[in-house]
Amino acid sequence: MNTRAIAVSIVAMSLILSGCASGQLFGPTLTPTLLPTSTPLPTSTPIPPTPTPIPPDISGKVTNSENKAANRYFVLCKILDSGCVFTSLPASSNSDGYFEFQDVPTGKYYIFYDSGYENFNDVVKKWEGKTIQVGDVPWLVENFVTLNDDGGISFTLVEDTAIDQNIGYMMVYRFFATSPFLWAHTCDSGGCSSPEDVLPIIASVSNGRPAQVEFEVYGPFGELSGEAPAASSSTTADSGCTSTSDCPDSFNDIYISDAFNDNSNDWPVGDVDGDWWVGTRSIENGVLNWDGISRREMYSNIRPRKAGLQKNIPDQQVSARVKLINQNMNVSYGLIIRSKDETSFYAFYADNSGQFAFFLKIDDEWKALIDWEENPYLEKGEWNKMTIQAVGSHFRLFFNDNLLSEVDDDSLTSGPSGVIVEVYNSDEKIQVQFDDFEVRLPSSSVTTTDSPAIPPVPADWNGIPIMPDSITGQEDMGDYQFTIKASATEIKAYYEREMVNLGWELRPEMMASIPTDLAFKKGGMFVFFKIDPEGDKNVVMIHLVQQ
């Protein structure tokens, strides 16, 4: 048989080996299957009307160990001989975790629910009618996965296999990265330590009898909500307010207030010498300074990294004062809000020519929600205050407390906020200052006006030691990340010593083939360490794979 191999790094492959406990494992069939439709009766043959039976329902209750059972989103997948066919039958849970599918046709169904990594309504539209295999890890390994002698993993397809866009997405993105949905399951008495221990929830309805189920839901792990607002495109709106003081939404609870008297909120500062620009970010004399030279057209955004800040915040008001020191710069500056990561966020820009704009960057693609327009409120050479209010899918942009514009967009629903600088030419002198960065929440969204306390950094994570004197640390989508003021050499030396003492074997051949700084193996487990510099500190990401 002729085959072609598509290499996939073991880091990217990890979820297939370890994601069973959170219900993220199922495989595709290679032939999409549409839901069956009935054949219409000939119009020439009249049929007496007969009572239409009301299809039964599926109802139940979900629980969650982190009190995240409310407002979860569900869809049914009808079980057939070839797998299960993804339907468009939706449900959502109330504040107590109860949910109900109405008018469900007779049959057996798996239940999928939101992971938070994608908008759930969009997921349902994308997968409706597709046939998928649930929890069939041996099938996936037997048909597509090759374990190489050097410890790597390959993903192999039969030559001439026909794969459409959705099936290709399901095979690669779905399996080896972040799943857009999870599947309802329970574990046997020994837990979900292997695929055989995972028991899918099956809801069966027949003869007008409803089905009742109960199970635990995991996550949500991402920042996107399940239900999409009715308006999915960007449309201008008008609330009737003209300034921050007379808009209808009340943002009275201060969540972050930073006058930059110190770096207690852990902004990424220090020297920068990269492909895009060289210079420094610093907190001095009560301001956050950007000072450097651009090497190309570039943007740079940062946000406070203090543990616990801004996780999954949907509705918020973000503001800061900004000042250009070099008035001749071809540069824009402003705020970011609802940032998912470095490649997905909203950006409110202003420049020194008296214009402003509001952009969405999602999956590394830019979209102008409000293209460059006149900004009549700019005071050149002075401190200018910029403010964004985000309520649901609605955004208001203010400059010096005056309303500039409003717009609707539902692409990103929550996430941290920060500041951004963008330069349009190489060899531009960058001199921008920020002050009085503030995040406010709607009334009663928080119980205190103080910033959250920094949780202590644990001594270890899943038995893997965390370096002593780490500044901050937190779990991040199944991995662990901590910040420490130590060099990369010191970090490597520490883990080469400590991991070997704990019985782990250093695997340098894996470090040469995949993007990682350290790789260790112990039995059926792998651990990878990635070290990234941030100013005078380093951020260490620990990735654990359990076969």
Note the pLDDT tens digit of each residue in 177-217: 456 777 788 877 656 655 566 778 888 887 656 788 888 88
pLDDT of the residue at 247: 67
User: How confident is the model at residue 141, as a pLDDT?
Assistant: 54
Whose CA is closest to 480, among 411, 412, 417, 527?
A: 527
Six token digits for residue 518: 């350290």
| Mean model confidence pLDDT for the chain | 74
Tell whether the model's pLDDT for residue 23 goes beyond 60: no
- Mean pLDDT over 464-490 rounds to 83
DSSP result, 142-206: HHHEEE-TTS-EEEEEETT----HHHHHIIIIIHHS--SEEE-EEEBTTBSSSGGGEEE--EEEB
Within 13 Å of residue 489, how many CA atoms lie on the same side as its CB?
0
Query: Domain 253-441, what architecture?
Result: Sandwich (2.60)
pLDDT band at 547, cuts 50/70/90?
low
Q: Which residue would you say has higher pLDDT here, 251 or 335?
A: 335
Name the percent of the chain lying above pLDDT 90: 19
Window from 85-94, 354-363, 372-381, 441-450 with minimum mean pLDDT: 441-450
Residue 517, pLDDT > 50, answer yes
Is pLDDT above 50 for 515? Answer: yes
What integer is the mean pLDDT of 417-438?
89
Give the CB-side neighbour count of residue 397, counting CA atoms within 13 A.
28
Confidence of residue 223 (pLDDT cuts 50, 70, 90): low
In the CATH hierarchy, which fold is given to the domain comprising 3-36+52-216?
Answer: Immunoglobulin-like (2.60.40)
Confidence of residue 335 (pLDDT cuts 50, 70, 90): very high
Output the CA torsion sign for 93, 97, 102, 106: positive
Q: Is the model's pLDDT at 346 over the cut of 80?
A: yes
Locate CATH 2.60.40.1120 in the chain: 3-36+52-216
| Structure tokens given for 29 | 């069939």
The pLDDT, as a whole number, for residue 130 is: 80
Greater confidence (220 vs 336) lies with 336
Instruction: Round to whole Å and give the CA distance between 161 and 181.
Output: 26
Interval 118-129 mean pLDDT: 79
> What residues contact 397, with CB distance under 8 A and at least 6 apart?
348, 356, 358, 370, 387, 388, 403, 404, 405, 406, 407
SS3 call for 129:
coil
Residue 396's identity, in one-letter code, is R
How distant, in Å, are the alpha carbons of 9, 116, 501, 532 from that of 464?
Answer: 22, 27, 11, 19
Q: What is the mean pLDDT of residues 55-68?
A: 79
Distance between CA 272 and CA 534 in Å, rounded?
8
CATH 2.60.120.560 domain residues, the chain: 253-441
* pLDDT (average), residues 134-151: 55
Is the preceding peptide bond at 200 cis, omega within 30 degrees of 0? no
Amino acid at 53: P
Cα 234 to Cα 158, 237, 394, 406, 448, distances in angstroms: 42, 9, 9, 10, 34
Q: Given a cut of 50, is residue 12 above it in pLDDT?
A: no
Q: Which residues of 278-302 are buried (b: 16+ CB within 10 A; e: fewer)?
A: ebebbbeeebbbbbbebbeebbbbb
Judged on CB neighbours under 10 Å (0-12, 13-18, 19+), 536 is: exposed
Among 14-28, 131-145, 486-500, the range scoring the smallest mean pLDDT is 14-28
Contacts of 149 (CB under 8 A, 6+ apart): none
Going by DSSP bridges, is the β-strand pair 472-476/479-484 parallel, antiparallel, or unpaired? antiparallel
Give mean pLDDT, residues 34-44.
34
At 120, is the pLDDT very low, low, confident or very high (cuts 50, 70, 90)? confident
CB atoms within 10 A of CB 341: 12
The amino acid that residue 32 corresponds to is P
Task: Please report the pLDDT score of residue 500 as a whole number.
Answer: 92
Q: Is the pLDDT of residue 287 over 90?
A: yes
**Which pLDDT band holds residue 266 (cuts at 50, 70, 90)?**
confident
